[in-house]
Structure 1
Amino acid sequence: MIRLLIFIIGISLSNTALAKPYKKKCPNIVFILIDDLGWKDTGYMGSDYYETPHIDQLAAIGVNFDQAYAPAANCAPSRACIMSGQNTPRHGIYTVGSSERGKAHTRKLIPTPNTVTLADSIVTLAEALKEAGYVTAQMGKWHLGDDPCTQGFDVNVAGSHAGHPKSYFSPYKNKDLVDGPDGEYLTDRLTNEAIKYISQQAERKDTPFFLYLPYFTVHTPLQGKEELINKYRKKGGEEGQNNPVYAAMVESADQNIGRLMDALKNVGVAQNTLVIFSSDNGGIAKISSQKPLRAGKGSYYEGGIRVPLVISWPGHIPAGKTINTPVASMDVYPSILELCGLKRKPKQPLDGQSLVALMQKDKPLKREALYWHFPIYLQGIHPVKDQARDPLFRTRPGSAMRMGKWKLHEYFEDGALELYNLENDPGEWHNLADSLPGIKKELHDMLVKWRFEMNAPVPDEHNPAYVAEKE
């Protein structure tokens, strides 16, 4: 008992000691993550259909990364990478649920088994900040376990293992969210909770806060406010971006981000708040086209993994700057640690790199390439609009990488390689693997070496249920 008491006191003193040196320079942090928002689903990224003036304004006062990537092409693995700072082979979360997606007789290989919960041994971003003296809150979609309060958060609103809401209108049927008045809109409600939390924390001037706000929107089911749906029905759009319900959801997200930014100003903490805005993966191709990028959520072509990313902190990060360097959402974790002046890093590998010197001084990143690994299957949604390699799956087992302007895909079922020059062909329609064998080999050698270093599993066992003629 005495040992336990000494241990608890020691941990408490350790946390206090960590927090003291940084309190004056540590910003508050608001991390806004929209679910399934595509790279081109905002005005500042080029859409003429979706109206996002508040998100556009956030981009105008911060740094916009126009070649930012999700670390995975769908929800759970991407969020696991963001929260851990680690690539998928380290935590084993490759997809949502089972890795055996699609019909068994169309799968040539036995895929790598999937992990569905982020291990407690992994130090999340929230845990790293909490150790440094932050108070932490999660409001919205967690998707990495049953209770985010076991993974570094002091407060949880609506977060669980669930990947999407049962309804965007109250009653929500969410055990972690008390229902509001009938018809209350979920995106509005989460913002109300966030504003309340910000107002409470603003009074604690000596304690910085970390608010992780992963909105459920714009994930299916598609449900928007009727007045906004009617607005977009009248407005109309172009082919691929003309769904009025989805557009209504995008605008509701934008309106609430505007409310959130106003709240930061109203309580006097805007100048000392780091705001990060992004999406967990590309948009669903059937719902919103990312043209000129190919495909969408679930695919490792550009439309499935390219995402919006904005980072803003007045006086510390340049305003209105656009960076073309390829970066990844895993970079957020080490970037936050550096911006907060936290020199004590978690005792685990971080695969992301800090973007601070790139943002502040245009200093190039040290890494050679970005990598993705997906030893699993993910069934198709629409045989044509998915723009996948074949009509049955958005993803078959494989890996991908990007180095400079070059992008390489490898598929484990047949050993095929695809090579693209993203400068000339951002849509990845012209495979150069046969015409540029030297570049293909260089990149493939790097990809194989990376997999070896990461101990990334490569499925090679034949699926006895596979029937070629029935594909």
Structure 2
Amino acid sequence: MQKLQRSFIVLILGLFLFACKESNQKMEVVSAKPNVLIINIDDMGWKDVSFAEAPFYETPNIDALSKKGMWFVNGYASAANCAPSRASLMTGKWTQRHGIFTVGNSDRGKSKDRKLIPIANTTILPDNFSILPQLFKSNGYATCHAGKWHITDNPLEKGFDVNIGGSHAGHPSSYYPPYKNVALKAAKGERLTDVVMNGAIDFISNTEAPFFINYSPYAVHTPIQPVPSLIEKYKEKKVSSGQSNVNYATMIENLDDNIGRLIKALEETDKLKNTFIVFTSDNGGLFAVSNQHPLRAGKGSYYEGGIRVPFFFVWDGKIVGSQKNETPISNLDIFPTLLEVAGIEMPEEESDGQSLLPILVKDKEWDDRPLFWHFPIYLQAITDKNENRDSKFRTRPGSVMRYGKWKLHHYFEDDALELYNLEDDLGEQHNLVDTEPEKAKELFDMLQEWRVRTDAPIPTEENPEFIAL
């Protein structure tokens, strides 16, 4: 009997120790902080990657990375040009919250063509926001910025331990040395895109702590300066609709090569399997360089070509690969998603994005939610051959929203509405305001309520220099 009792006690003790071991293993998995990598390309359009059925461009490394995770076909930037989109990504806030609506001044274009006095623009991100690098650093992460910053003068003052070429510069003077406005040294003839990646890889290879990296190359922003060794290759390729720019294609391939180097470095240091990766672009592609058909217009415009971007997430072992998701998302969603991934508490202030983790790792579906954009400013056209609302401006003051398959534009100068069914009319060619008045009213009421709730400034003062045609 005593022998039986001893056996029972040994069995119970064994089960207890096994359970403790299992529990400890689970705690180790949960407590191991994932690395976080943002890849935010500059001016890369929705159709500038070959996995989006763009045969003229060659992006095999980006394509391979996208297949490891979930691609959001309806992925959007929160603004149609650089600085406001980047400020919103870092803060998780709509543009009216931080006041960065554009790059530089808000009254761009000829004064005689502007009916309203636009809302003044902010060019430096205010200090009263908790931004991603600060939150990650205060939670034990090593932080690195590599490439374009554009929203303050110095990334090191905003929570980054390491800065590789970031400043308030919006684009390089040259991709070949001397880079002039980008403070990086390089060997003779070494391309800026390669030099920025060298620094990012060095950071990965020499960092033992969990890391947060904001990799944001200046590429593929202008100036369009080709990689000489690739020119002949693209001269021989068959052009596809809207895509025939040989010099630009070489820049994309060079960028893709560097993405390949980045992923290889993560693999060689055994860090890829514990790295959460976001791939996106700060705005749509520049129409004069590479149009995004069937999307309308490009960078600076709030038609689809200006705000819809390549957008996918990768997390080895947690996000199932080769997924294509139709949920409309915004780069505002990056902020809460990354904090949840890292187990970092959200700041007390209101979040304008929504964590995507339930969709990414739990296969959840959302009910439709509205996405909004606000741009109380003017942004002149680069060329009169474009697909904007008129030939003089890429953007005139207004607001836009998407809700389900519907997209509504509201322009302040003439109080005009444009309503599109993106399911049937991805190119936004057929304004349905007159044929779908109830839907237009429903969305317009939602848009007005949002503007009031967020204190979105609306320009009303008329410009005395305006000349009506």
Kindly report which structure 2 residues correspond to 1:296-311, keeping only aligned pairs within 5 A, or say none.
296-311=298-313
Deviation for aligned residue 1:382:
1.9
1:368 is displaced (CA, Å) by 2.0
Paired position in structure 2 for 1:459: 459
Q: Is the 8 A contact 2:172 2:182 kept in 1?
A: no
8 Å contact from structure 1 (residues 25, 341) kept in 2: no
Distance 1:256 1:324 in 2: 28
Matching residue within 151, 175, 182 for 2:188: 182
The residue that corresponds to 1:60 in the other structure is 67
Shift of 1:310: 1.2
SS at match of 1:196: helix
User: What is the rounded CA distance, in whole Å, between the counterparts of 2:98 and 2:65 in structure 1?
Assistant: 32
Q: Distance in 2 between matches of 1:63 and 1:159?
A: 29
Question: Equivalent residue of 1:409, what SS?
Answer: strand
Aligned partner of residue 184 in structure 1, secondary structure: coil
In structure 2, the residue matched to 1:139 is 146
Task: Tell me the distance in 1 between the aligned counterparts of 2:95 and 2:112.
Answer: 27
Map of 1:14 onto structure 2: none
Instruction: Verify the 8 A CA contact 2:224 2:248 in the aligned structure 1.
Output: yes
Counterpart secondary structure, 2:441: helix
* Pairing 1:259-278 to 2, within 5 Å after superposition: 259-278=261-280
Say if 2:387 is the partner of 1:387: yes
Report the secondary structure of 2:38's partner residue. Answer: strand
User: 1:86 corresponds to which residue?
Assistant: 93
Label 1:366 to 1:136 Cα distance change in 2 as closer, same or farther (>3 A).
Answer: farther
Q: Deviations over 1:259-284 (max 9, x none)?
A: 10000011111111111111000001
User: Does the CA contact (< 8 Å) of 2:166 and 2:182 recur in 1?
Assistant: no
SS of the residue corresponding to residue 276 of structure 1 reads strand
What's the offset of the Cα at 1:365?
3.2
In structure 1, distance between residues paired with 2:147 and 2:239: 30
Given that residues 169 and 181 in structure 2 are in contact (C-alpha distance below 8 angstroms), is that contact kept between their aligned partners in structure 1? no
Residue of structure 1 equivalent to 2:5: none
1:26 corresponds to? 33
**Aligned partners of 2:28 and 2:270: how far apart in 1?**
23
Counterpart position of 1:4: none
**1:367 to 1:335, Cα distance in 2 relative to 1, 3 A:** farther
Is contact 2:368–2:404 with CA below 8 Å preserved after alignment?
no
Is 1:399 the counterpart of 2:399 in the alignment? yes
Work out the CA distance in 2 between the residues paired with 1:22 and 1:36: 37
Give how far 1:164 is off: 0.2
- Residue 371 of structure 1: aligned partner: 372
The superposition leaves residues 92-113 of structure 1 with CA deviations (integer Å, 9 ceiling, x where unpaired) of: 0000000000000000000000
TM-score, normalisation: structure 2: 0.93
Written as runs of structure 1 = structure 2, the 5 A alignment for 1:62-461 is 62-174=69-181, 176-177=183-184, 179-201=185-207, 204=208, 207-342=209-344, 344-365=345-366, 368-384=369-385, 386-461=386-461
Which sections of structure 2, spanning at least 5 residues, go unmatched? 1-26
Once the two structures are superposed, residues 417-459 of structure 1 have per-residue CA deviations (whole angstroms, 9 ceiling, x without a partner) of: 0000000000000000011100000000000000000000000
SS where residue 235 of structure 1 aligns? coil
* Change over 3 Å in CA distance of 1:22–1:271 after alignment to 2: closer
**Residue from 35, 46, 51 that aligns with 2:42:** 35
Of the structure 1 ranges 223-232 and 69-78, higher mean CA displacement relative to structure 2 is found in 223-232
Offset at 1:366? 5.5
Range that drifts further, 307-316 or 230-239:
230-239
Give 1:318 deviation, angstroms.
1.4
The change in CA–CA distance for 1:22 and 1:97 in structure 2 (over 3 A counts) is farther
Alpha-carbon contact 2:42-2:82 (below 8 Å) kept: yes
Contact 1:370/1:403 (<8 A) preserved: yes
Is the Cα contact below 8 Å between 1:353 and 1:365 reproduced in 2?
A: no
Alpha-carbon separation, structure 2, partners of 1:61 and 1:243: 29
Q: For residue 254 of structure 2, what is the amino acid of its counterpart?
A: S
Runs of 4+ in 1 over 4 A off after TM superposition: 20-23
Task: Please tell me whether the aligned partners of residues 25 and 340 of structure 1 are also in contact (alpha carbons under 8 angstroms).
Answer: no
TM-superposed deviation, 1:175: 5.3
Give the secondary-structure state (helix, strand or coil) at the position aligned to 1:257.
helix
Larger radius of gyration: 2
**Inter-CA distance 166–157: structure 2 relative to 1 (3 Å threshold):** same
Q: Distance in 2 between matches of 1:156 and 1:23?
A: 30
Distance 1:381 1:175, change over 3 A: closer
TM-score (norm 1): 0.92
8 Å contact from structure 2 (residues 241, 293) kept in 1: no
Checking the alignment, whether the CA contact within 8 Å between 1:68 and 1:307 is kept in structure 2 is yes
Alpha-carbon shift at residue 239 of structure 1 (Å): 4.0
* Mapped partners of 1:367, 1:345: distance in 2: 23
- Alpha carbons of structure 1 residues 163 and 175: separation in structure 2 relative to 1, 3 Å: closer
Following TM superposition, by how much is the alpha carbon of 1:374 offset from its aligned partner in structure 2, in angstroms?
0.1
Secondary structure of the corresponding residue to residue 52 of structure 2? coil
Task: Give the alignment of 1:42-53 within 5 angstroms.
Answer: 42-53=49-60
How far apart are 1:235 and its partner, in Å?
1.5
The separation in 1 between residues aligned to 2:331 and 2:389, in whole angstroms, is: 25
Matched to 2:297, the amino acid is A
d(CA) in 2 for partners of 1:263 and 1:53? 17
Return the alpha-carbon distance in structure 1 between the equivalents of residues 127 and 368 of structure 2: 28
1:29 positional shift: 1.2
Equivalent-residue separation in structure 1 for 2:357 and 2:367 (angstroms)? 13
- Structure 1 residue 174 displacement after superposition: 3.3
Deviation, 1:291, is 0.4
Report the residue type matching 2:210 in the other structure.
P
Question: How many pairs does the alignment contain?
Answer: 443
Partner of residue 13, structure 2:
none
Deviations 1:347-391 (A, max 9, x none): 32220100010122232336620000000000011222x200111
What is the Cα deviation at residue 172 of structure 1? 1.1
